[in-house]
Each structure stands twice: as structure tokens, then as C-alpha cells.
């Protein structure tokens, strides 16, 4: 009458203090084609077996010596905060209030002993169908999360590459600085590490610092590449590379560019306030400087 189940490998865990009940249910399940059945009559072992076996369905008796089914459900709910916990309570309990309490406590369904073998199989089948769908959705979600992580990493890498190439381009233009930008980026990493930033923050800051002199792109060659000393007027123009740089990088959502904007603006500020462009003093100067 009951067709062989399409989830023969589903893991079913039966907890009942009554040996006859366990034998009966095990036979019904085996005859229906279920191959993965674990049982215990000792409620104190449920948690351990549950954690090791990781069942797709727990068939639970409500009233047992030493531990009530309610307590077991409480314990398992703690472990399964984010997971679908499939519990079918099978009990002799006929009190409707207690039956409702079991459903409230986490049981997904309630069957009263003695039960009809066809009914129990149909209910278990429905349970497993929901469980498998749930698992499938979880699997898809995990896959999606992984893909998002990969894409984010890819995007970060692309941003990093573009920033590195832009800073290399600047080094070509401002030949006097040589590999200054790259060196600064390495120093930034070590300093950020020394002040206790996380490895991720150190890496982002280090990359963003490559942009500190990006504003020099707006300084005329006659000043930028002047071999001798700059006149006071030329020096004033040179100082504007801070504000030009921050404007160039402003308005972006990229964490690299946001930090780069702050660094470009404030990297010539000095602790005693004698720096530029804003003459900031002490703690008023952003950490990124």
C-alpha cells in the first residue's frame, strides 16, 4: 500500500524508552525502505547521538523516565538555532494541552500511540520532503555566499591593481620620487600593524596610501619636474597636490578610494600644526596620515 520511500538514505533517529515501540517503528521504517535508522532508549544519550548522527528526522517519545521529551527539545533547539529541527513526537499522551505544548516546544507534528503504520510513514515522508528542500535551499545559499565572497575578493583585487598601476604611472611622471610611493605603502603597512590595526585594515590602508600623491597629476611639469629649488609661489602650487588629490578621489564608495581621499588630503599635516593644507594639530590629524 505504501510505496517505497524516495529518501531511503534519510537519517532517522528514534528516541523512546519502550523497546516494543522502538522495534515496531524500526520494522515499519525498514519495510518501507529506510536504511539509516538509529535508536536509543536512553534520553541522556540523545544529545551525543544527535550531534554525531546528524539526523534528518527525530522521532521522539514525550514521557520517558530520567528526561522528558520537552527537555530534549529544549536542548536541541539550543544547538539548532539557525537550522530546521525536524521533530515528530509520537506519544501515548492524549491530553490536547500537552500535545499543543509539544508543538509549541519545537515538535513539528504529533502522533498518538497506537498509530496507523501508513499514517506514520506518510507523515515521515512529508517531513523528509520539507527537510530535503530545506537542505537544498541551505546548500544554494552557501553556494551563493561563496560566490559573493569570490566576487568581492575579485573586485578588491581589481581595485588594488588599478590603484597600483595609477601610482606607478605617477612615479613615471614625478621621476624625482623614484620608488617613493611603493616604499611609503610598505611603511604604512608596518605602522598600521604597530598601532594594532587588523591585517585586513593594514592591507587596505597600505594600498590606499599608494594614492597619497595622486594630486600631483594636477601640478604643472614646470614645477613638478623642476630640478632646482621651488620659488615660494611654486611651492604654494605644489602644496595644492593635497587638495587636488582628495577632490580627485572624493565621492566614491570604494573603501580604498575613501581612505585614499583622506590620506591625499592630510598626508602633509604635522603634529605641531605646521603642516598643510589645513594646519591640523595632534589628534585632529586623521590616523591615516
Q: Which is nearer to Fe ion, 39 or 207 (CB)?
A: 207
d(CA 278, CA 280): 5
Q: Which is nearer to Fe ion, 39 or 246 (CB)?
A: 246
d(CA 179, CA 195): 25
Write down the least CB distance from residue 180 to Fe ion, Å: 9
Write down the least CB distance from residue 213 to Fe ion, Å: 4
Q: Tally Cβ neighbours within 10 Å of residue 201.
A: 15
Picking from 36, 38, 42, 44, the residue whose alpha carbon sits closest to that of residue 10 is 36
d(CA 201, CA 143): 27
Write down the least CB distance from residue 160 to Fe ion, Å: 21
> Which residues are bridge partners to 37 per DSSP?
12
Which helix (H) or strand (E) segment holds residue 30: the answer is helix 19-31
d(CA 135, CA 282): 55
Distances (CA, A) of 146 to 92, 151, 201: 46, 9, 22
Q: Which is nearer to Fe ion, 243 or 250 (CB)?
A: 243
Picking from 92, 97, 98, 96, the residue whose alpha carbon sits closest to that of residue 112 is 92
Indicate the residue whose CB is closest to Fe ion. 213
Which helix (H) or strand (E) segment holds residue 240: the answer is none
Q: Which is nearer to Fe ion, 20 or 175 (CB)?
A: 175
Q: Which is nearer to Fe ion, 33 or 277 (CB)?
A: 277
Q: What residues line the site for Fe ion (CB under 5 A)?
A: 213
Write down the least CB distance from residue 81 to Fe ion, Å: 51
Write down the least CB distance from residue 204 to Fe ion, Å: 20
Helix (H, G, I), strand (E, B) or coil at 40: strand
Q: Which is nearer to Fe ion, 12 or 263 (CB)?
A: 263
Write down the least CB distance from residue 240 to Fe ion, Å: 11
Q: Which is nearer to Fe ion, 108 or 267 (CB)?
A: 267
Distances (CA, A) of 86 to 45, 141, 165: 18, 20, 55
Q: Which is nearer to Fe ion, 100 or 187 (CB)?
A: 187
d(CA 34, CA 210): 63
Write down the least CB distance from residue 217 to Fe ion, Å: 12
Write down the least CB distance from residue 269 to Fe ion, Å: 11
d(CA 94, CA 102): 12
Amino acid at each position: 500500500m505504501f510505496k517505497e520511500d524516495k529518501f531511503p538514505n534519510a537519517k532517522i533517529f528514534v528516541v523512546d524508552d519502550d523497546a516494543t515501540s522502538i522495534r515496531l517503528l524500526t520494522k515499519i521504517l525498514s519495510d518501507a525502505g529506510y536504511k539509516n535508522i538509529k535508536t536509543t532508549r536512553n534520553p541522556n544519550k540523545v544529545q551525543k547521538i544527535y550531534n554525531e548522527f546528524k539526523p534528518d528526522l527525530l522521532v521522539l517519545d514525550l514521557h520517558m523516565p530520567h528526561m522528558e521529551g520537552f527537555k530534549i527539545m529544549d536542548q536541541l533547539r539550543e544547538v539548532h538555532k539557525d537550522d530546521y529541527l525536524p521533530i515528530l513526537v509520537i506519544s501515548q499522551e492524549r491530553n490536547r494541552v500537552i500535545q499543543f505544548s509539544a508543538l509549541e516546544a519545537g515538535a513539528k507534528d504529533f502522533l498518538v500511540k497506537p498509530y496507523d503504520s501508513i499514517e506514520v510513514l506518510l507523515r515521515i515522508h512529508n517531513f523528509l520532503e520539507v527537510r530535503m528542500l530545506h537542505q537544498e535551499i541551505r546548500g544554494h545559499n552557501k553556494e551563493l555566499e561563496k560566490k559573493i565572497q569570490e566576487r568581492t575578493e575579485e573586485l578588491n583585487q581589481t581595485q588594488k591593481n588599478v590603484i597600483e598601476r595609477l601610482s606607478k604611472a605617477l612615479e613615471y611622471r614625478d621621476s624625482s620620487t623614484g620608488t617613493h610611493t611603493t616604499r611609503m605603502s610598505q611603511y604604512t603597512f608596518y605602522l598600521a600593524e604597530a598601532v594594532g590595526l587588523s591585517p585586513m585594515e593594514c592591507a587596505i590602508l597600505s594600498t590606499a596610501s599608494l594614492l597619497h600623491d595622486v594630486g600631483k597629476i594636477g601640478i604643472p611639469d614646470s614645477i613638478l619636474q623642476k630640478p632646482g629649488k621651488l620659488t615660494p609661489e611654486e611651492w604654494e602650487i605644489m602644496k595644492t597636490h593635497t587638495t587636488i588629490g582628495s577632490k580627485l578621489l572624493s565621492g566614491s564608495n570604494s573603501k580604498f578610494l575613501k581612505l585614499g581621499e583622506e590620506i591625499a588630503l592630510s598626508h602633509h599635516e604635522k603634529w605641531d600644526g605646521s603642516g598643510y593644507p589645513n594646519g591640523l594639530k595632534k589628534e585632529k590629524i586623521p590616523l591615516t596620515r
